[in-house]
């Protein structure tokens, strides 16, 4: 048995032609580790949200290509590259909003194309790049946790949304990594975590991670955010992001925008924490595809129908927070501050 409490396993790994991942749909009641040699199984896991969270999705996408390359029966490079293109198209069709997925697929494919000497060379290049991306994810999250924790002071009351911890990345996490790091540094903090309807990433996953880390916290329903801001003295909000645009728009889990507006109203600082791989310097806000998922996620709770038969639901799962509500964006290269048109391109390129 793989023991996550002993830190034997990351949320997703690739070893000897196999991918192993924690099926987060089963948490907190069951810690199921899926092991597969089939790239299609990993693509399904991304689509079904057994693997979710922008950085984890990115690495899972890279591992999908690594599995395809590792087990490919192609005897020439042309065959292998076209097989990889087909797998890339499958992966790109799984989830539309998290830019890390598209970034990861392009990065691995360009390695494959650049190393087209022979089948073995392409195989090695693809697997090597995917493994490098997983290692980088851990290091980038570690750096963000240190930088972000410097923003947290004794006495801070922090609100967080969705799940942005180790379960949403390869390890450590983005916004939750920052919060847990601050607590481990001895800072006296209290956290409010939203349950995050409809998939309940907060209630199921963030609560599980905060409890394991020993951080003092309470879970709240999403609609309690206004009262909690007004009555419980929230000083800072830390959230993750699925895509951050050049001008500072933050695309993240549905509900983030209303939290940012409430934070402004109540004088709380609002930070997004995301690696530079989440920054999209190309897209305009109107071009961003907001994922809509199955209506049943809203009409039912844990598979039990709540709404009357015949009722329809609209289920967008991300929203867009305008830059004017964002106090700062924490990345592995530092904190971007307004004006974002200037700071974000610099930080994305590693210049400050």
Please report, as ranges, the residues that interact with ligand MRU according to CB under 6 A.
Answer: 52-55, 98, 162, 164, 168-169, 174, 201, 239-242, 252-253, 317
Q: Reduce the secondary structure of 216-254 to three states and give it as a string.
A: CEEEECHHHHHHHHHHCCCCEEEECCCEEECCCCEEEEC
Give the closest residue to 163 by CA, choosing from 126, 114, 200, 125. 200
Question: Measured from the CB of residue 204, what is the shortest distance to ligand MRU in angstroms?
Answer: 10
Nearer to ligand MRU, 240 or 328 (CB): 240
Distance CA 276, CA 243 (A): 10
Nearer to ligand MRU, 125 or 244 (CB): 244
Helix (H, G, I), strand (E, B) or coil at 134: helix
Task: Look up residue 193 and give its DSSP letter.
Answer: E
Question: Measured from the CB of residue 98, what is the shortest distance to ligand MRU in angstroms?
Answer: 6
Residue 154 catalytic?
no
Task: Look up residue 287 and give its DSSP letter.
Answer: G
Nearer to ligand MRU, 44 or 81 (CB): 44
Question: Measured from the CB of residue 173, what is the shortest distance to ligand MRU in angstroms?
Answer: 6
Query: Which residue sits closest to ligand MRU, CB atoms considered?
Result: 240
Nearer to ligand MRU, 259 or 299 (CB): 259
Instruction: Identify the active-site residue in 76, 242, 247, 294.
Output: 242
Question: Measured from the CB of residue 42, what is the shortest distance to ligand MRU in angstroms?
Answer: 15
Cα distances (angstroms) measured from residue 329 to each of 80, 137, 259, 275: 39, 17, 16, 10
Q: Classify 307 in phi/psi space as left (phi over 0), alpha (psi -120 to 50) or beta.
A: beta
Distance CA 31, CA 36 (A): 16
Per the DSSP assignment, residues forming a β-bridge with 133 are: none
Q: Which residues are annotated as catalytic? A: 242
């Amino acid at each position: 048995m793989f023991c996550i409490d002993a830190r034997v396993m990351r949320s997703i790994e690739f070893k000897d032609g196999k991918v192993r991942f924690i099926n987060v749909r089963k948490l907190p009641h069951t810690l199921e580790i899926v092991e597969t040699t089939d790239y299609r199984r990993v693509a399904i896991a991304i689509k079904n949200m057994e693997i979710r969270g922008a950085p984890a999705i990115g690495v899972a996408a890279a591992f999908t290509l690594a599995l395809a390359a590792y087990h490919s029966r192609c005897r020439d490079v042309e065959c292998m590259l076209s097989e990889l293109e087909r797998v890339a198209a499958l992966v790109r069709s799984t989830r539309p909003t998290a830019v890390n997925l598209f970034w990861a697929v392009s990065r691995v494919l360009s390695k494959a194309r650049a190393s087209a000497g022979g089948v073995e060379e392409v195989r090695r290049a693809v697997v090597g790049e995917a493994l490098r991306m997983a290692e980088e994810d851990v290091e980038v999250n570690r750096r963000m946790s240190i930088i972000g924790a410097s923003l947290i002071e004794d006495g801070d009351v922090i609100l967080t949304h969705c799940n942005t911890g180790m379960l949403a990345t390869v390890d450590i996490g983005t916004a939750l990594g920052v919060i847990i790091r601050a607590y481990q540094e001895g800072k006296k903090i209290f956290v409010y975590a939203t349950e995050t309807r409809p998939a309940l990433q907060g209630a199921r996953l963030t609560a599980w991670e905060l409890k394991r880390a020993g951080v003092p916290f309470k879970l709240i329903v999403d609609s309690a955010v206004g009262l909690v801001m007004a009555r419980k003295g929230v000083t800072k909000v830390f959230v993750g992001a699925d895509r951050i645009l050049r001008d500072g728009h933050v695309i993240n889990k549905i509900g983030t925008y209303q939290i940012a507006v409430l934070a402004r109203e109540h004088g709380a600082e609002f930070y997004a924490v995301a690696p530079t791989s989440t920054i999209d310097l190309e897209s305009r806000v109107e071009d961003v595809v907001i994922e809509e998922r199955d209506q049943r996620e809203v009409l039912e709770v844990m598979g039990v129908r709540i709404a009357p038969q015949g009722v329809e639901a609209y289920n967008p799962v991300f929203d867009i927070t305008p830059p004017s509500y964002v106090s700062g964006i924490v990345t592995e290269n530092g904190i971007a501050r307004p004006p974002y048109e200037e700071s974000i391109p610099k930080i994305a390129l590693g210049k400050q």
